[in-house]
Structures are given as structure tokens and as C-alpha cells.
Amino acid sequence: MESGKEYWIENTKIFGSTQDYIKEYYKQIIKLVSSGIYDCVGHLDYIKLYNEKQDLFLEESGWYKKEVIEVLDLIKEKNMAIEINAGGIRKCKTPFPSLWIIKEAKKRNIPLTIGLDAHFKEHFDNEMVKKLIDIAKEAGYKSVVRFKNRKIIEMKI
């Protein structure tokens, strides 16, 4: 049975290259954002899941940053929020999305919401909520948002 990382590498071959695979990932996120169905984008950089050692691609690569920035600009245009998600911390030691992306979102005044990615009761963790709030503050956020009937409700942090 293949590991997740081996499966990721196999997918790059299907798309032609790592760069083509990642570009397709962000192309699909652009379709999601453009649909008008959603209010928030979660797992914005889930594509990095097996890239903890930066051995699959470099997040600081210009081509990669360009893909992410294009999506953030569209998220802003569509008045959507992004989610900072604890699943990334549990899975690859950094939140989804990475801090640099959260900082870029803040530059664009994109609202930020918090998600624990709590599929199991062990994931309901107040310490993790505090950690996510600290990351949001580090990126410059003074508030986070939640939604009620598709309306944003801002909460100071």
C-alpha cells in the first residue's frame, strides 16, 4: 500500500510535474471561489500536506507564491474569508494555510475564521484554539469571524 507521500508523487506524474499538479490544485480552488456557493475557503494550501521537509516543492518559490496570491486576490474580490485550520498543525506541523499566506491575506483585509478540523473528540482542544488565535495575531489580525446564515460576524481576539 502506498503512503500518502508516494501517492502525492504519483499524482505529479499524472499531471506531468510537481508544478503542473500544484497549478491544477489552485485552478480547482479558483473554480470553488468563483462559484459563489461558498463564503470561506479552508485548507487553502492542503497541497503541502506531505511537504513538511520542503522536499516536494519550495513554498518560497516565485511560481508557487504567484499561484497562492492569485487565489487570495480572487478571494478578496469575491468577499470571502479564509480559514486557519488546526489539521495542518496536527498533520504537518504548520496550519493550513502557512503563516506567510495568512499574512498575505491580512494585507488584503481578507477575513479569517478558525477551524479545528475536529473529526474526533480528541481534536476539540482549547489549547489549539489559543494557538490558532496566536498565529492570527502574529499575522496582524485583531479579529476573526464566524458565520450565521451566510453573514459574517466579527469577533475581537
Categorize the per-residue pLDDT at 107 as very low, low, confident or very high, splitting at 50, 70 and 90.
very high
Which of 109, 1, 80, 10 shows the shortest CA–CA distance to 50?
Answer: 10
The amino acid occupying position 2 is E
51-61: pLDDT as tens digits: 999 999 999 99
Reply yes or no on whether the pLDDT at 144 is more than 90: yes
Contact 95, 84 (CB under 8 A): yes
68-94: pLDDT as tens digits: 999 999 999 999 999 999 988 888 889
Contact 87, 117 (CB under 8 A): yes
Reply yes or no on whether the pLDDT at 18 is more than 70: yes
Cis peptide upstream of residue 111 (ω within 30 degrees of 0)? no
Query: Distance between CA atoms of 44 and 98, rounded to whole angstroms?
Result: 9
Categorize the per-residue pLDDT at 146 as very low, low, confident or very high, splitting at 50, 70 and 90.
very high
Q: pTM here?
A: 0.93
Categorize the per-residue pLDDT at 120 as very low, low, confident or very high, splitting at 50, 70 and 90.
low
Q: What CATH code is assigned to 4-156?
A: 3.20.20.140
Distance of CA 26 to the CA centre of its chain: 11
Domain ranges of the chain: 4-156
Q: What is the mean pLDDT of the chain?
A: 93
Query: Distance between CA atoms of 142 and 74, rounded to whole angstroms?
Result: 23
